[in-house]
Amino acid sequence: MNFTIEHVLIPVDQGYEEVSVQIVEGRIAAISPNLDILGTAIDGRNKLLLPGFVNAHTHSSEMWQRGMIPPYPLELWLAELYDFTPLDPEQIYLSAVGTAVETLLTGGTTVVDHLVLIPGRELETVAAVVRAYREVGIRAFVGPLIQDEVFESGIPCGGTEPKHPTYLRSAAATLEFLQETIAQFHRPTEGISIMVAPTGAQLCSDALFEGCVELSDRHTLCRHAHLLETKAQKLLAHEKYGCSAVEHLKQLGFLGSQTSLAHCVWLDEHDIDLLGTTRSTVVHNPLSNLRLGSGVAPILKYRQAGINVAFGCDGAASNDSQDVLEAIKIGTILHNVTDLDYTHWVTPRQAIELASLGGAIGLGMAGEIGSLEVGKQADLVLYDLTNLSMLPRTDPIGLLVLGRPTQVVDSVWVKGDRVIAAGKPTRINVDELRSQLFNRSQWSVNRKSPTVQQVEAHYRSVMQLPVLSIG
């Protein structure tokens, strides 16, 4: 369907300009003041049009545990997460719908779902989220979260002998599943792309990484992984490889211009050089990094080194929301406390560019999405500037990034399809979604994770924390 958004504000070099934007066959055909109306007319008055953001790292099924996990660092938090992970593909479908809706309603048009799999029902898990994303109409990159080593391998030994069996399942079996996933679901022109997405160096063998590199080269797939999220992972990498995890991933050929790496909190100067020379993308998840106490990723340094940066919400069990504008705000202002020289601080306009074009670059999509340019696909978001949270009128992008906009997304188009209109999803019934999420859950507190109880003492010892007194 062709349409023209009239009298809409867009950012230009020296401020804002009121223009019309023509969309033809899913692409931006013209941007200019006083264009003819082509197709349906959309009233853009008192509204701001921006390219859609990329929610560049999340785990949709974590939505079932949001608000639930106590204040723990990643390694113990993961133990909780896996002890209570959803095991029903219908649940997986519903949390993917929820993730898509929250992403769209906060300015995102693309979601990167690093998807936790139901053991033994891996293909069904992927099918469930693909169905959800197609129904809602969001662009999705789905990276099945694969690992071939057991949970306990992800915690440093700290000089003790590892007691656990090393392998969860073979790299070969995992790669076979991935091959099948690609065959069944990888449809980039329809807005659904499969990525190779090993969870990270802490739980994956070299063989698994190498297999992923081979698959991504063969099928031109993006690569995605967690990287040095915590101090424990930095210790572990040195135990496991005798070098940094970045150096090791470089040697395995995993880094590159279509590789996006979530977190990157504990990199040193040499690691930063390697990300720069390989043109890898850092996905910054500020809220998750704070919630889990992982640290503050050195984003200002990455930008000074010319490294591409994107923003992610991370899964809703470590954030615990999927509000892309919130991730952008905190991911922008958090770094001001790391550098006294305010000329290095990220401006609201730069933040918007990281969230849109930065996200697109990390997915190899910079030619197709991520900016308001003629010829690009119409992944667009229209913001209502008359909402109370956007008033009084000042700088619209300043208000959007530094304020706390609530319900300001009026319309969203993905590939030119209007998937949000008047602040509501056009293709699914939100009340039905709410009712499903409500009925399949219950208020609860104080659940006990058996795995936390198993590993906590060892974790505290390795991290040189005092022994906990009992009771």
Q: Cα separation of 222 and 257, whole Å? A: 9
The residue within the footprint of its own copies, chosen from 294, 308, 356, 411 (CB under 8 A), is 294
Q: From 154-162, 356-364, 416-424, 428-436, give the range in contact with its own copies by CB under 8 A.
A: 428-436
Question: Is 157 a binder of its own copies (CB under 8 A)?
Answer: no
Restricting to residues 438-467, which ones interact with its own copies according to CB under 8 A?
438, 440-446, 463, 465-466
Q: Cα separation of 281 and 259, whole Å? A: 6
Strand 108-115 to strand 53-58: parallel, antiparallel, or no bridges (unpaired)? parallel
Query: Looking at beta carbons only, is 113 or 148 nearer to its own copies?
Result: 113
Q: Cα separation of 53 and 109, whole Å? A: 6
Q: How many residues bind its own copies (CB under 8 A)?
A: 86
Q: Cα separation of 159 and 10, whole Å? A: 57
What is the residue whose two structure tokens read 């033994």?
Answer: 120
Please tell me whether residue 419 adopts helix, strand or coil conformation: strand
Q: From 131-139, 342-350, 374-382, 415-423, give the range in contact with its own copies by CB under 8 A.
A: 342-350
Restricting to residues 64-93, which ones interact with its own copies according to CB under 8 A?
64-68, 70-73, 76
Question: Is 292 a binder of its own copies (CB under 8 A)?
Answer: yes
Q: Which of 277, 275, 329, 333 is nearest to 300 (CA)?
A: 333
The residue within the footprint of its own copies, chosen from 181, 289, 377, 449 (CB under 8 A), is 289
Q: Cα separation of 373 and 403, whole Å? A: 27
First-to-last alpha carbon distance for the chain, in angstroms, is: 64
Residues 367-386: x/- map of binding to its own copies (CB under 8 A)? Answer: ------------------xx
Strand 53-58 to strand 417-421: parallel, antiparallel, or no bridges (unpaired)? unpaired
For residues 434 and 65, the answer to whether their CB atoms sit within 8 Å is no
Question: Is 33 a binder of its own copies (CB under 8 A)?
Answer: no
For residues 109 and 379, the answer to whether their CB atoms sit within 8 Å is yes
Restricting to residues 195-234, which ones interact with its own copies according to CB under 8 A?
231
Query: Looking at beta carbons only, is 239 or 339 nearer to its own copies?
Result: 339
Q: From 28-36, 134-142, 205-213, 433-441, give the range in contact with its own copies by CB under 8 A.
A: 433-441
Query: Looking at beta carbons only, is 73 or 358 nearer to its own copies?
Result: 73
The residue within the footprint of its own copies, chosen from 33, 34, 161, 337 (CB under 8 A), is 337
Q: Cα separation of 307 and 305, whole Å? A: 6
Shortest CB 311 distance to its own copies, Å: 14
Shortest CB 320 distance to its own copies, Å: 4
Q: Quick one: tokens of 356?
A: 């849109």
Query: Looking at beta carbons only, is 378 or 401 nearer to its own copies?
Result: 401
For residues 397 and 370, the answer to whether their CB atoms sit within 8 Å is no
Residues 247-286: x/- map of binding to its own copies (CB under 8 A)? Answer: ----------------------------------------
Shortest CB 194 distance to its own copies, Å: 27
Q: Cα separation of 260 and 308, whole Å? A: 9
Q: From 206-214, 236-244, 255-263, 312-320, give the range in contact with its own copies by CB under 8 A.
A: 312-320
Residue type, 120: G
The residue within the footprint of its own copies, chosen from 162, 165, 398, 450 (CB under 8 A), is 398
Residues 349-368: x/- map of binding to its own copies (CB under 8 A)? Answer: --------------------
Within 10 A of 157 (CB to CB), how many other CB atoms are there? 16
For residues 437 and 443, the answer to whether their CB atoms sit within 8 Å is no
Q: Which of 137, 112, 109, 114 is nearest to 125 (CA)?
A: 114
Shortest CB 76 distance to its own copies, Å: 7
